Amino acid sequence: MSLLRIMFPGRRFADGARAVLACAAALILAAGMAPARAQTAPDIASPQAILLDFDSGSVLFERAADTSSPPASIAKLMTMAVVFGEITSGRLSQDAEFKVSEYAWRRGGAPSGGSTMFAAVNSTIKVSDLLRGAIIPSGNDGAIVLAEGISGNELAFTVKMNQEAKRLGLTGSMFVNVSGLADPDQKTTPRDMAKVAAHIIRDYPDLYKIYSEPDFLWNKIRQNNRNPLLGMSLGADGFMTGYQKDAGFNLVGSAIQNGQRLIVVIMGSKSEKERADDARRLLEWGFRSFESRTLFEPGQIVGEATLYGGARNGAPLTSEGPIRVLIPRQGDEKLVARIRFEGPIPAPVEKGAELARLTVYRGEQLALEVPLVAAETVPAGPLWRRAMDGAYELVVSLLRQGYAKLTG
């Protein structure tokens, strides 16, 4: 792993990287990214939490955000992410009707004693209604019926869930059912749930609106939306709660104020009140304490990745979109940016190929991580250059092996 580092205030760099990094540092400082420290984070009771800015991906607060725990009903975010994908791709119509199987009725319906939309066994229900039944009252039966209608059975649908989890880069999650009912193998993390939430908001904005609907009437039973944030005048407009005896009280929420959207995840709270209060405190603090700064515009050169056997020694790096980070409004904390890549990278490289990642740290906390791509195509170099690069890499490899033996 090769690493280039930018720190504020400025620092010295190795000769080979100095020109690129000095330029990048100057650009960031010109964007107004002064050293800063946020107001003290709120004192929350929940053992696991994360708060992030939707637009930039900046992490504002985290606590045990990568610890895997039972998700309870917030697992339905991944269920809905798969269902939304089927609808958006055209493979599933909201007007389609699915039959309520006895399995779905017994496991997730009225006889189960859990959260339900009260779907009647052997009835047929439109997908549009099943969506609302699974989201607004968090109906387990609605989620199971959707899974069976799409994949034939619940187990087959969980294969899609785990495939989607891998595609989204979830690292601490495993899904074995669609409802979030207790299972020792089912787990997730606050960071993973925040990624799924951001994916739903970004890629399915019209379907996301269902999460803000205040109630749902089915089978002559009206049920209110279970998300407590919707009634707190926070600008909250989505997501859901969950509870299991061994998981505690969980919540995923999102709110928007003055064009800024934050996502909060709370896991393991001791009560409904603690869960709601902690989520509210984090959202209020986030909106009050941070402001957005643009570090790089789309196409702006961020740095350079070392190449092996190329027509030039490095490939300039850029981002496909603007790179923004939320910074504290006041204070004196250092911010450090690092460019990481596995290198040297063999040439040729095509323009737009992902080569590296930019990470920005606020103190010890990872505030932002975004991919960097090649800003231009770099072809393979002439034979003599490839030979020289090969010889150089061989010498470096031998030296590393020798050093490892001496220090091992």
Report the pLDDT value the prediction gives residue 225, as an integer from 0 to 100: 97
**H helix or E strand, kind and range, residue 127:** helix 127-135
The phi and psi torsions of 401 (rounded to 5 degrees) equal -65, -40
End residue of a domain, out of 291, 315, 335: 291
- The tokens for 218 are 């089915």
End residue of a domain, out of 238, 266, 291: 291
Q: Are residues 263 and 332 in the same domain?
A: no
Number of structural domains the chain divides into: 2
| Domain hosting residue 325, numbered range | 2-30+297-381
Q: Are residues 307 and 284 in the same domain?
A: no
Q: What CA–CA distance (Å, rounded) separates 374 from 219?
A: 56
Residues 6+ apart with CB under 8 A from 29: 8
User: Between these two residues, 133 and 22, which has the higher pLDDT value?
Assistant: 133
- The tokens for 393 are 């890499």
Residue 237 belongs to some domain of the structure: yes
Q: What CA–CA distance (Å, rounded) separates 344 from 346?
A: 6
Report the pLDDT value the prediction gives residue 391, as an integer from 0 to 100: 54
pLDDT digits (tens, 9 = 90+) for 334-382: 778 889 988 678 888 899 999 999 998 877 778 889 999 999 999 885 6
Query: Which of the 8 DSSP states describes residue 112?
Result: G
Q: What CA–CA distance (Å, rounded) separates 255 from 53?
A: 10
Task: State the pLDDT confidence band at 324, using cuts at 50, 70 and 90.
Answer: confident
Q: Are residues 140 and 266 in the same domain?
A: yes
SS3 assignment, position 403: helix
pLDDT digits (tens, 9 = 90+) for 28-50: 433 344 444 446 889 999 999 99
Residues with a known catalytic role: 73, 76, 138
Report the pLDDT value the prediction gives residue 30, as an integer from 0 to 100: 36
Report the pLDDT value the prediction gives residue 292, as an integer from 0 to 100: 82
> If we measure between CA atoms, which residue out of 359, 287, 282, 290 comes closest to residue 48?
282
Q: Are residues 26 and 119 in the same domain?
A: no
Beta strands per DSSP E along 110-183: 124-126
CB 194 within 8 A of CB 50: yes
pLDDT digits (tens, 9 = 90+) for 52-89: 999 989 899 999 999 999 999 999 999 999 999 999 99
CB 267 within 8 A of CB 24: no
Residue 406 belongs to some domain of the structure: no
Residue 25 belongs to some domain of the structure: yes
Q: Are residues 209 and 231 in the same domain?
A: yes
Report the pLDDT value the prediction gives residue 154, as an integer from 0 to 100: 98
CB 305 within 8 A of CB 315: yes
pLDDT digits (tens, 9 = 90+) for 218-269: 999 999 999 999 999 999 999 999 999 888 999 999 999 999 999 999 999 9
Beta strands per DSSP E along 100-194: 124-126
Residue 199 belongs to some domain of the structure: yes
User: Between these two residues, 383 and 336, which has the higher pLDDT value?
Assistant: 336
User: Between these two residues, 299 and 5, which has the higher pLDDT value?
Assistant: 299
Question: 102: burial class by Cβ within 10 Å (0-12, 13-18, 19+)?
Answer: exposed
List for the chain the helix, strand, coil content (%; round to 5): 35, 30, 35
Residues 6+ apart with CB under 8 A from 146: 79, 83, 98, 127, 130, 131, 134, 178
Query: Which of the 8 DSSP states describes residue 9?
Result: S
End residue of a domain, out of 271, 291, 311: 291
pLDDT digits (tens, 9 = 90+) for 100-157: 999 999 999 999 999 999 999 999 999 999 999 999 999 999 999 999 999 999 999 9
Residue 391 belongs to some domain of the structure: no
Longest CA pairwise span in the chain (Å)? 79
pLDDT digits (tens, 9 = 90+) for 149-184: 999 999 999 999 999 999 999 999 999 999 999 999
Q: Are residues 59 and 115 in the same domain?
A: yes
Residue 100 belongs to some domain of the structure: yes
Q: What is the CATH number of the domain that holds 309?
A: 2.60.410.10
Q: Are residues 245 and 348 in the same domain?
A: no
Report the pLDDT value the prediction gives residue 6, as an integer from 0 to 100: 45
Residue 114 belongs to some domain of the structure: yes
pLDDT digits (tens, 9 = 90+) for 290-302: 888 888 898 899 9
Q: Are residues 65 and 214 in the same domain?
A: yes
Q: What is the CATH number of the domain that holds 90?
A: 3.40.710.10
pTM of the model: 0.79
Residue type, 109: G
Residue 121 belongs to some domain of the structure: yes
Q: What CA–CA distance (Å, rounded) separates 172 from 71?
A: 11
CB 360 within 8 A of CB 57: no
Q: Are residues 211 and 355 in the same domain?
A: no
Q: Are residues 115 and 206 in the same domain?
A: yes
Does residue 207 surpass a pLDDT of 80? yes
- The tokens for 305 are 């990745």
Q: Are residues 100 and 178 in the same domain?
A: yes
Angle at 259 between CA 75 and CA 288, to 5 degrees: 85
Please write down the HEC assignment for all residues of 179-232: CCCCCCCCEECHHHHHHHHHHHHHHCHHHHHHHHCCEEEECCEEEECCCHHHHC
The 10 Å Cβ neighbour count of residue 384 is 8
Q: Are residues 283 and 305 in the same domain?
A: no
Report the pLDDT value the prediction gives residue 319, as an integer from 0 to 100: 93
